[in-house]
Amino acid sequence: MTRAFAKAALAAMWLISTPALAVQPDEVLPDPALEARAREISADLRCVVCRNESIDESNATVARDLRIFVRERIMMGDSNEQVIAEVVDRYGEYVLMRPPMSGSNLALWLAGPALLLLGFGVAFAFIRTRARSTNPTEAELTPDEQAALARILGDKQS
């Protein structure tokens, strides 16, 4: 394998591994500052079809419509917060990649750590209870059991 081929293969793998942005050339705003704002907002909004992709990364039609909507609102002079509020009004908090830690979301944010602490507590209580309990195998043998054990060991040793 030649060195040039190896470099080309490495470059191709790097290009494949980087996230592809789905923004089409006809969506890009002429002002670079406004386009940067649109990209920032788009990165924080979830595609309602693709689940865990931002609208900036998604090729879905709904994501394209949302990207265009974001750019239209920016061109109208809306702030980033106003644009995001408008999208949330249409689609709900689900559309946010990082939903706020308030209201009904607070229960979801706190459920994971609470269950983890509960699991640690149950494990600690179980281990502590086992450590305190007497192990039945440590109980002393009855005279009948000692005699049976002596008979068995006597037969094995002869």
- The single-letter code of the amino acid at 18 is T
Q: Which of 45, 72, 95 is the last residue of a domain?
A: 95
Q: Which of 72, 95, 118 is the last residue of a domain?
A: 95
62, 119: one domain: no
pLDDT value at residue 63: 87
Q: Angle at CA 86, nearest 5°, toward 80 and 89? A: 140
111, 73: one domain: no
**Count of CB atoms within 10 A of residue 107's CB?**
9
Tens digits of residue pLDDT in 74-115: 889 888 899 999 999 998 888 888 887 777 778 877 889 999
Q: Which of 73, 95, 117 is the last residue of a domain?
A: 95
Q: State pTM to two decimals.
A: 0.56
84, 145: one domain: no
86, 44: one domain: yes
